[in-house]
Structure formats: C-alpha cells, structure tokens
Structure 1
Amino acid sequence: FGDVLTEVYGYARTRKVIWAGFISMIFATVMGLFVIHMPADPEEPFNAVMQPALEVVFGNTGRIVVASIVAFWCGDFMNSYVMAKMKIWTEG
C-alpha cells in the first residue's frame, strides 16, 4: 500500500498518511489503556469477573504497541523514501 501511495501521490503525501496511521495507533492505544483502568461496575457481577481478564489480556499492550509504533514508523518512512529515490533514479 505504501509503495502505491509513494508511486502515485509522491513522498510528501505518503508522509501525511504515515503520520495519520501513527496518530491513529496512539489514539487506539490510549483508548485501550483508558478501558483497562476504568473501574468495573460493582453492581454487575459479570463485569467484576471480566475486569481481571481484561487487565491480563490488555495489560502488556503498552509495550507491544510502543514496539509496533517504532517499527511502523521506521519501516514505512524508509520504504517510502527508498521508493521515492528509486522513482527518481529510474526516471519513472
């Protein structure tokens, strides 16, 4: 997808798309962490049972997302840069 964006729209527009994806990942992560730290409704027994499960499943999300964001950011920018340079070198 990034290759097509770079080829058709150029490096400048591709950078905007990469930053939009980067910001979207951060927003989704913040919302996930917000859900984890919200207290469960004590009147609903199902919520009290599910809250520890949510914390187990999403508890390590922060570290995973940081690694994903770094890899996404570096990989997409490098890919777009190389594609833009290849387009110039091949005069295409």
Structure 2
Amino acid sequence: MKRNVILEKSYLFGIRTVKLFLYLKKCGVDEVLIKQLLKSGTSVGANVEEAVGASSRRDFIHKLSISYREARETIYWIKLLKDAQILE
C-alpha cells in the first residue's frame, strides 16, 4: 500500500490532541472547553480516514473539506487556550 502522509499526520495530530486533553484535564481546566478541543482534534484524522474510503471523487472532496474545517476549529480552541493563558 502506498504511504499516505496526510493520513499519518492527521492520526498523529489526533494523538497529540488526546495527550493535550489529558494534560489539561489533569490541570483542572474546565472540561466543557477541553472536550471541544478533543472532539475537533480527533475528528480531523477520522474524516481523513473516511475520505480514503470514499465512494466517489465528490464524496472524497466532501469528507476532506469536513476534515479541513475540523482542523481550523481545533486551531481556534488552541489559540483560545493560549490567549486565555491556559496554555503557554
């Protein structure tokens, strides 16, 4: 099977998101806030995985666009946590 760099990187991004979630949870950060980060950060790779198994080119593009939006949402949550001085 041919190597899929996007699939690999999005999976690793999900792992890093889970680790960040667990760290922030351990630090006592509000769970509602960090669950948003967890959901968006882990869905990036899940949607890329779905795109790989898409039934058509149109379906592939649709699933990748969802993944892109989830990645942007994750960036938002990370910026928010940083600017709120929860992450340094």
**Which bracket does the TM-score occupy, shorter chain normalised?**
0.3 to 0.5
Larger Rg: 1
**TM-score (norm. length: structure 2):** 0.43
Q: TM (normalized to structure 1)?
A: 0.42
**Looking at both structures, which has the greater relative contact order when contacts are Cα pairs under 8 Å and sequence separation is at least 6?**
1
